[in-house]
Amino acid sequence: MTGAGGEPFIAAVKPLVDAMGGEILPPDEAGPEDVVLSWQGADVVAVRLPQLADSLDHILAAMERRKGRPLADLDRKAKQEVVRILEARGAFSVRHGVETVASALGVSRFTVYNYLNRDKNA
């Protein structure tokens, strides 16, 4: 996985892959759904992207780390901001997305829908 100066390239893409919840693999282990990245004409690394539902869990965990506490402990205004960010990232197009977000925020599905509707009516 390190030919053609691949070490710096892998180090450069790793934060992005980690942020997406992806996995780095040797290019010869890539499956049909994986993305093979080349550097200087050689396949250096393959990236296995997460399933959408796994991505949502990863995004929620990253948001908790950024906030420094569980999302359920945030005040109402901060929870509304989280819902806005998640909507922009497509979180509610994932099956059970509203339920997953509601659980993470410690609110009901109805509350999440209210937050979403509030933005549309503002």
Structural domain boundaries, residue 57: 53-120
Show the DSSP H helices in 1-122 as ranges. Answer: 6-20, 52-67, 76-88, 97-105, 109-121
> Alpha-carbon distance 102 to 106, whole Å?
6
1 pLDDT above the threshold of 70 = no
Tokens of 120: 């549309």
Q: What proportion of the chain, given as a percentage, has pLDDT over 70? A: 91
Same structural domain, 107 and 58: yes
Rounded to 5°, angle at Cα 78 from 73 and 81: 135
pTM, to two decimals: 0.62
Same structural domain, 82 and 63: yes
For residues 14 and 122, the model is more confident at 14
Q: Find out whether 71 and 60 touch, Cβ atoms under 8 Å.
A: yes
Same structural domain, 67 and 26: no
Q: What is the pLDDT of residues 76-85, one digit of tens each?
A: 999 999 999 9
Same structural domain, 101 and 80: yes
Same structural domain, 60 and 115: yes
Q: What is the pLDDT at residue 20?
A: 77
How many domains are contained in the chain?
2
Q: Find out whether 38 and 1 touch, Cβ atoms under 8 Å.
A: no
